[in-house]
Chains A and B, each alone.
Chain A
Amino acid sequence: MANRQEVLLTGAGGQGLILASIMLAEAAVSDNKNVVQSQSYGPEARGGASMAGVIIDIDVIEYPKVVTPTVLLCMNQASYNKYLPLIKPGCIVIVDSTFVKGPFQEEYKVQVYPITSTAKEELKREVVANMLALGVVNAAAGLVARDIFREVIFKLAPKGSGELNQQAFDLGYSLYEHGSEQGAGKSAQNSQ
């Protein structure tokens, strides 16, 4: 892992991205890294735009907001349109094809996974799509050792849902190992 990772999890309010970001930050603390987690969201509990940032560094972190993302997750079309132009080459971009329909430009090497639809089909619970996404993100970027997450997930997931959330996280890894849907860098239109 590079010394500094700036992770941006974006989507709609209610998709659980802030909880996912807190889990990632907790895991980074358990991994003895410095970490700052921040978020921005509207006044609504559901809907509206939601963004959570996690900076993981071995150095002291001063400015707490993500400036140059090294990992970008987009869980809806609006966030994809908004945040993709901000990134620089080399940033890992992961999108949920359930909601994001492209275009997947060549230069960004976008990785496309059916995150929410997999949660719905395989686990019958759309609500754990955030954990699935976290699994994909960590598998793709190798931010924190995988086994650290178990304790964190059981600690922070709503009572009684630890196992389900862990399953979703593991399913994220399988999804990543299975490979990007349209293949990195190919546009959705081309592959159809």
Chain B
Amino acid sequence: MPETKPVLMQGNEACAEGAISAGVRFYAGYPITPSTEIAERMAARLPGLGGVFIQMEDEIASMAAVIGASIGGKRTLTATSGPGFSLKQENIGYAVMAEIPCVIVNVQRMGPSTGVPTAPSQGDVMQARWGTHGDHPIIVFSPASVYETYYLTIAAVNLSQKLRQPVILLLDEVIGHMREKVFIPEDSKLMVEKASDKVPADYKPYDEKGLTPLVPFGFGHYYHVTGLFHDQYGFPTGDPLQVERAQDRIHAKLDKYRDEVVLTNYIGHKEPRVVIVTYGCTVRSARAVIKKAYWQNRQPVGLLSLQTLWPFPAKEIETLAKQADVILVPEMNMGQILGEVERHVKGEAEVIPINRYDGEMISPDQISEKMGRWLS
């Protein structure tokens, strides 16, 4: 194990450090509160590592630059917040379709529109899933601490490379801006999973497996990249059979690697009556509740924190629904992941929302008050 010593680090800084540990050497972005520290850190660190930092003219161009750099063989990152995330959507769809790896960070702030720039929110859960048009697969992670931000960024970069799939890191202002004591490995080279360098003579960048690494442009292999449906060599096609197969293939990748993609964490009672299901900074409030209710008072309660929001952890929710009577879903929006939980609970448990959308965190008291009603 590489040596570690505790440091005080901000969530946004941990995201940048995680990206660098995972081999990201290209960043293009346009600064926006509350994500700006990621750009600042990348700007300070990348030139010294032989990487490239570009402040682009806007978020649309940033996303395009990231896609271009990725085809050029770099591991890439861009970071933004709500208004900028809206602008990136078109090109995120392009990256999904052309199967170009990249990681997009959205440090959520209060919306819609410019909203309250410095206030936290979890209002972009559905936008992260369906922001770009058309049926498309997407991976979305949501960390609940500074350290989780570090390692989920690494996971995001590696998964995006492995599956040739854009990955969205959905932070919130609380996690992005807070500073915590963390242990970060000093020698970070271990974190990089390297894609295979072996390329067959008849190179098909869009073959059946869909996991063949893209050969960087300019390295001797010609292929076509397009947002149109395409054949195995990347050339456009409108053939219904090929279109359907391509759709199935890009979706099947995520199912096949579900164990690596869908990350959750359960703490609490083995046979819980009341379970909290939440994500991001709200996990912190929920953990404070569980600490008291379960670890101190041994009440039949539990907490399922979702590090992966999309693909939605359906199996985990179905299992919980069979055990618990009540599932509480606190989130800092008007109810987004709630609908998804209800869909998979299938009426087997009572699903109770706890929503807050005034720009403040949901407090532990708010959750335990609701929980108490179902325990008595």
Contacts and interface: CB of A to CB of B under 8 A. Distances in A.
B281 A64 contact: yes
Contacts of B181: 28-29, 33-35
Interface in A55-95: 61-65, 67
A167 interface: no
Interface in A1-49: 22, 25-26, 28-29, 32-43
B355 interface: no
B32 to A, nearest CB: 11
Contacts of A29: 6-8, 181
B118 A25 contact: no
Nearest to B182: A29
B174 A22 contact: no
Main secondary structure of the interface of B (DSSP, over half): mixed
Contacts of B284: 62-64
A32 B181 CA distance: 9
B370 to A, nearest CB: 16
A156 to B, nearest CB: 10
A62 B181 CA distance: 12
Interface residues of A, number: 23
Given A22-B8, A29-B8, A35-B8, A65 B180 contact: no
A8 to B, nearest CB: 15
B361 A65 contact: yes
Interface string B125-166: 000000000000000000000000000000000000000000
A63 B330 CA distance: 14
B143 to A, nearest CB: 13
Contacts of A40: 118
Contacts of A25: 8, 179
Given A25-B8, A43-B118, A64 B178 contact: yes
A139 B285 CA distance: 32
Q: Sort A-B residue pairs by CB-CB distance and give the 5 closest, nearest first.
A: A62-B288, A37-B179, A62-B287, A63-B288, A38-B178
Interface of A: 22, 25-26, 28-29, 32-43, 61-65, 67
11 contacts: A29-B8, A32-B6, A35-B181, A36-B179, A36-B180, A37-B179, A37-B180, A63-B285, A63-B361, A63-B363, A65-B361
